[in-house]
Amino acid sequence: MTVTVEPCDPRDPAAVALLEQSHALMTEMFPAESCHFLSLDALCTDDISFFAGTVDGVIMGCGAIARRSDYTEVKSMFVDPSARGKKVAQHILEHLITLSGDEGFTQMYLETGVGLDAAHALYQKYGFDFCPPFGDYVEDPLSLCMHKILE
């Protein structure tokens, strides 16, 4: 089994299918005001780089970085349930961290939801710590923000 991470057009049908799964899960778990996922159009802007994680050439996960003024934000992290445990999310997150550092950013942030414990554990494994809301996020009992200093 080979996992690779490559730039991907968010409109690729396999990527769209993953994003639709992710959005369905988020809207099932959280009310609309607590869902902060980006639309397909928003993922196609110049300040965002979108990546696919493939397993033996098949897209099984995705993730993106949004470039903000002085940090990057992890967006659209999702792995197909059938690929969980195959380290797809780890490979994607490592790629996003490396790219952010290579581009000269010194901080990364992300917003995630309460109850997504496996995601929280992954982010903590890679040095993200819980923090107050950042950017345009506001206090929300169902939302958690995390921050990482890049070395």
For 68-122, the pLDDT digits (tens) are 999 999 999 999 999 988 999 999 999 999 999 999 999 999 999 999 999 999 9
- Is residue 48 within 8 Å of residue 66, measured between CB atoms? yes
Query: Is residue 28's pLDDT more than 90?
Result: yes
- The whole model's pTM is what? 0.95
pLDDT grade for 151, boundaries at 50, 70 and 90: confident
Mean pLDDT of the chain: 95
Q: Give me the number of domains the chain comprises.
A: 1
Buried b (16+ CB within 10 A) or exposed e, 51-81: bbbbbeeebbbbbbbbbbeebbbbbbbbbbe
For 82, the domain range is: 3-149
pLDDT at 1: 81
Q: What is the CATH number of the domain that holds 95?
A: 3.40.630.30
Give pLDDT tens digits for 34-44: 999 999 999 99
